[in-house]
Amino acid sequence: MKFNNKGIVISPKSKIGNNVRIGDNTTIYDNVIIEDNTIISNNCVIGEPINDYYYNDLYANPETKIGKNSIIRSHSILYAGSTFGDNFSTGHRVTIRENSIFGNNCRVGTLCDIQGEVKFGQYCWLHSNVHIGQDSKIGDFVFIYPYVVLTNDPHPPSNICNGPEIGNFSQIAVGTVILPGIKIGAHCLIGAQSLVGKDVDDYQLVAGNPAKALKDVRDLKSRETGESHYPWPKNFERGMPWENIGFDKWKKENGYD
Amino acid sequence: MKFNNKGIVISPKSKIGNNVRIGDNTTIYDNVIIEDNTIISNNCVIGEPINDYYYNDLYANPETKIGKNSIIRSHSILYAGSTFGDNFSTGHRVTIRENSIFGNNCRVGTLCDIQGEVKFGQYCWLHSNVHIGQDSKIGDFVFIYPYVVLTNDPHPPSNICNGPEIGNFSQIAVGTVILPGIKIGAHCLIGAQSLVGKDVDDYQLVAGNPAKALKDVRDLKSRETGESHYPWPKNFERGMPWENIGFDKWKKENGYD
Amino acid sequence: MKFNNKGIVISPKSKIGNNVRIGDNTTIYDNVIIEDNTIISNNCVIGEPINDYYYNDLYANPETKIGKNSIIRSHSILYAGSTFGDNFSTGHRVTIRENSIFGNNCRVGTLCDIQGEVKFGQYCWLHSNVHIGQDSKIGDFVFIYPYVVLTNDPHPPSNICNGPEIGNFSQIAVGTVILPGIKIGAHCLIGAQSLVGKDVDDYQLVAGNPAKALKDVRDLKSRETGESHYPWPKNFERGMPWENIGFDKWKKENGYD
């Protein structure tokens, strides 16, 4: 019932792949490329023009590309000029601004607000309602939980825009704020509701307001097992490329530390 | 003007009660039951199919039921498999995932994100932008304020899903995070922006990051009156079933402590 | 492509100025006034009726006014009874409830939730996902960042509604909660993720949970310049009325301290 071909507007300047399904009341603007087997659900806007569109008659929409086997859930707005890898998915009412780059296998949850000019590696999973400021750089296999904010202006309001950097495999728990320009290493765990104002070394558990380094995540005992759950890729495989292979073997073959 | 019968799609496999009004551009999927006198405003989706719908030709939508005299405000998405009691209401752009159960007289504010597989008692009032993780269990007369998050994964990312439990009459103030598996008793008050990582006994005031038990709520003096506002049902009746009866009399007749 | 005149419903009791563009699937209710050169994008609701509309046959929609040269981005809902100055802009999916007043040149970001009965001066810029409780009073040139909440009930739930007051030129950083009735002076900087429970004097830097006054913002050294960025209007001009004039000269001519 979702695909009734009602109220759909598709620019003749877009390229729609094979077996792409587009939901009712969705608009696809100029210079959008949607690759094979992708689903765009109802009431979405793909290639939303930037502000000039409204005021400049010579405006040309920059290219927007969504990789194959992706699913964009309803009411999402993806601005023009961004690139999304294969197997990309969004929840509902996601907003992603212009000139953002996502690697393959990324997921962006309901109500996330990606401010544009950001870079994500592969397998980044953003839960609901994450806010990513401009100029943020996020590695591979980074999971970010609800109401996390990555900020970029050290002296608001200023003309400085200096987003954080998050290393591979790091996890940022709910409600945490990362201050401008902060560098978080690989395999870190940032506790819920932390305010992170200092750089974080690899494998650190950091928590609090203000956040402090508490211990090495490999020394963090699970209440269930008595052993550390971290580095988590050793203990979590669902949907990961090391599923049924094991993380240690996979990482050697794929050049990760 | 909101009910022009334009762009509405209603599955023939749904059951729509008497005097139900449905707004423009709303979609009602298979196996939805909407009881009498309920209003579904414009641009809603009721019985949103779960992920299998897109990929499995044999998919059958689970039953979704909305009780009588309810109002669902515009742009809300209620997934299939959930049950909503009578007099249910939502704000705008609410998302409620599958297999959630709400008792009678619940309210869910604008932008709330209910992740599914949760259980609410009666008269739960969620203000705007509350995030409820899967497996949460919430009692009766629980009010939750904006940007509160109930979490469920103690070692993110893991395969554990262990949501919090909130007792009857408890109040969770803005911006608070409840950590996985935490049990909060009855008649508690959790202060704004708390990080709650330990169980909370009945009648406790808890606040801070990390949250600490500060005092019995019955000893919390109001600046206005010099007496305690808590237990709040003694001093707040608007919309409550003890309105014009008094809480003490009502609770005896209704089996609450 | 955004303006195809499809699915638009405009009440004959509204007044639409010259050169106003209205996007697809937008609804304009009774007694809305839209001034010249304003853009209302797609899927918006302007003059959303308050609750009585659904249940009272004699309901009359209060007047809603949007000033000239404004832009309302898609999926926004502006309730009836509010007034928006000239050059007003919103992001996507904004909700603004009834009887709110905005001065000229205000901006309200994506997903903001303004609860109604609030008053903003001129040049207030709200970033994404700001929550403003009823009865809040905000001065001129106040910038508020994501996930900030202004609250109004000191003893939830009660019948008291006592919103905060924010002075001219103050900045409220991400994730901060302002407790009910708190008064924040002019030129203050409230740090990220603060919980503000005491009044704040002019020019104070305040931060923490609970928030404490840390220093005069004029003594806050920038890492870049070694000098204070504050009062920020001396160092930030983009979009401000003192652009190319200088703040000191402008403020004398315009009666600001």
Domain that holds residue B185: 141-257
Is the domain of B48 the same as that of B154? no
For residue A196, being part of any structural domain is answered with no
pLDDT at A32 over 70: yes
Domain final position from C117, C141, C167: C117
For residue A171, being part of any structural domain is answered with no
Is the domain of B173 the same as that of B86? no
Is the domain of C130 the same as that of C256? yes
Is the domain of B53 the same as that of B157? no
Phi, psi of A195 (to 5 degrees): -115, 105
| Contact flag B111-A110 (C-beta cutoff 8 Å) | no
| Tens of pLDDT, residues A160-186 | 999 999 999 999 999 999 999 999 999
C159 interfaces chain B, CB cutoff of 8 Å: yes
DSSP string, A169-221: T-EE-TT-EE-TT-EE-TT-EE-TT-EE-S-B-TTEEEETTTTEEEEEGGG-B
For position B5, what pLDDT does the model report?
83
For residue B212, being part of any structural domain is answered with yes
User: Mind spelling out the 3-state secondary structure of B29-93?
Assistant: CCCEEECCCCEECCCCEEEECCCHHHHCCCCCCCCEEECCCCEECCCCEEECCCEECCCCEECCC
| Contact flag A235-B158 (C-beta cutoff 8 Å) | yes
For position A222, what pLDDT does the model report?
82
> Do B136 and B164 touch, CB atoms closer than 8 A?
yes
For residue A126, being part of any structural domain is answered with no
List of chain C residues with pLDDT < 70: 1-2
| Tens of pLDDT, residues C125-154 | 999 999 999 999 999 999 999 999 999 999
CA distance C159 to chain A (A): 29
- And the tokens for A188? 């870190």
For residue A76, being part of any structural domain is answered with yes
DSSP string, A3-54: ----S-EE-TTSEE-TT-EE-TT-EE-TTEEE-TT-EE-TT-EEEE--THHH
Nearest alpha carbon to residue C44 among C91, C84, C86, C87: C91
Is the domain of C110 the same as that of C129? no
| Tens of pLDDT, residues A184-217 | 999 999 999 999 999 999 999 999 999 999 999 9
For residue A158, being part of any structural domain is answered with no
Is the domain of C128 the same as that of C244? yes
For position A1, what pLDDT does the model report?
64
pLDDT at A108 over 90: yes
Residue in C49, C54, C179 closest to B71 by CB: C54
For residue A55, being part of any structural domain is answered with yes
| Contact flag C156-B39 (C-beta cutoff 8 Å) | no
Q: How confident is the model at residue A226 (pLDDT cuts 50, 70, 90)?
A: confident
Is the domain of C101 the same as that of C37? yes
Domain final position from C91, C117, C143: C117
Please tell me the total count of domains within chain B: 2
Is the domain of B149 the same as that of B210? yes
Return averaged pLDDT per consecutive 10 residues of chain B, 257 residues in all: 83 97 95 98 96 92 98 97 98 98 98 98 98 98 98 96 98 98 98 98 98 96 86 96 96 91
Beta strands A212-216 and A204-207, pairing class: antiparallel
B25 interfaces chain A, CB cutoff of 8 Å: yes
pLDDT at A138 over 90: yes
| Contact flag A193-C193 (C-beta cutoff 8 Å) | yes
C75 interfaces chain B, CB cutoff of 8 Å: yes
Distance separating alpha carbons of residues C95 and C53, to the nearest angstrom: 18
Beta bridge partners of residue B101, listed in sequence order: B83, B119
| Tens of pLDDT, residues B215-226 | 999 999 887 788
| Tens of pLDDT, residues C154-199 | 999 999 999 999 999 999 999 999 999 999 999 999 999 999 999 9
Q: What is the CATH number of the domain that holds B44?
A: 2.160.10.10
- And the tokens for B226? 């010099």
> Do A79 and A116 touch, CB atoms closer than 8 A?
yes
Domain final position from C117, C146, C174: C117
Cis peptide before B154 (omega within 30 of 0): no
